[in-house]
Amino acid sequence: MPAPVLLDCDTGIDDAIALTYLAATPAARLVGIVSTGGNVPAAQVARNNLDLCALLDLDVPVALGASAPLVEPARFAEDTHGPTGLGYASLPASDRALADRSGAELWVDAARAHPGELVGIVIGPHTNLALALDLEPELPHLLRRLHIMGGAINHRGNTGPTGEWNIAVDPEAAQRVFAAFSWAPARPVLGPLDVTEEVVFTAETLARLGAASTHPVTAVLLDALRWYVEFHEADGFGPIAHVHDPFVVAHAVTGRFARTAPLALDVELDGTLTRGQTVGDWLGRWGREPNVDVMVQADAAGFVDHLVETLGLLRVVPPAGGPTSRQ
């Protein structure tokens, strides 16, 4: 049976690929989407999610999250993801409307509706999950498992020298989540930059994606990825793209593509130069029990093959009475 999944995202180019993957894979059943401000403001994230769901024929609640982090003013990454979050892509406008619940409320409702079964996935800042913990402190015990794209353990940052974007945007929220889930029955799985940056899209990858499916979302993703490649090239990486979020999502629903190791982890909140850094105690100096299973090795090539194959399952939905969008 496909696992029920709640996706908390800040869509975002690689978030859009992750959402499309969840629409295509038979291994997951998306039951809700929380729109968290990060790559672009929360309202734009929600609009991207609503219009992507319409294009993908996904009938799931999309909730608007908090407009700003817990402590600091909001900041965004239009240079990385473009003014709307989707690079050069232009999504067909839909008449989809937001759910009548906040992002935090959707977390709680979905967990209560699927106790012990819900797979929670955070691929943006942790603001709304932190707020959900205020509403339902038992949330860590209601989830089957939490999966997170975030952090940089033994790796340079992508937001300042040491910080990773999803954690650095709202470090107080991330710290609150890691602390609360220290008591979860299953440790959260963390996909840091150390591993997600092993996943590299090249011109050949984009060509494979373009050939995989004739679904209209394919053209959207390719237009978005053109911007992403140009950003990475301007940032000194060459004509490639690091595609973080779909890797973590695919591992969350399949259990494949990454080897993990237990680690005691915390978030630096006060450092003058290192605020938002994820600090892992590999040597056990803190005397704390591990609170995450951190990805330490990726099967990047296997994931890319799997992603191309999965997106190839997408089909255009014909008028009512026709076959479904998956085969």
Centre a 10 Å sphere on the Cβ of residue 155 and count the other Cβ atoms it contains: 16
* Whether 108 contacts 139, CB under 8 Å: yes
**Residue 326 CB partners (closer than 8 Å, separation 6+):** 24, 26, 313, 314, 315
Question: What are the Cα distances from residue 145, in Å, to 70, 220, 270?
Answer: 24, 31, 29
- Annotated catalytic residue: which of 215, 244, 251, 306? 244
The answer to whether residue 126 is catalytic is no
CA 4, CA 107: separation in Å to the nearest integer? 12
* Whether 124 contacts 38, CB under 8 Å: yes
Q: At what angle do helices 245-254 and 300-311 cross, to 10 degrees?
A: 80
**Residue 266 CB partners (closer than 8 Å, separation 6+):** 175, 178, 278, 279, 281
* Active centre residues (catalytic): 244
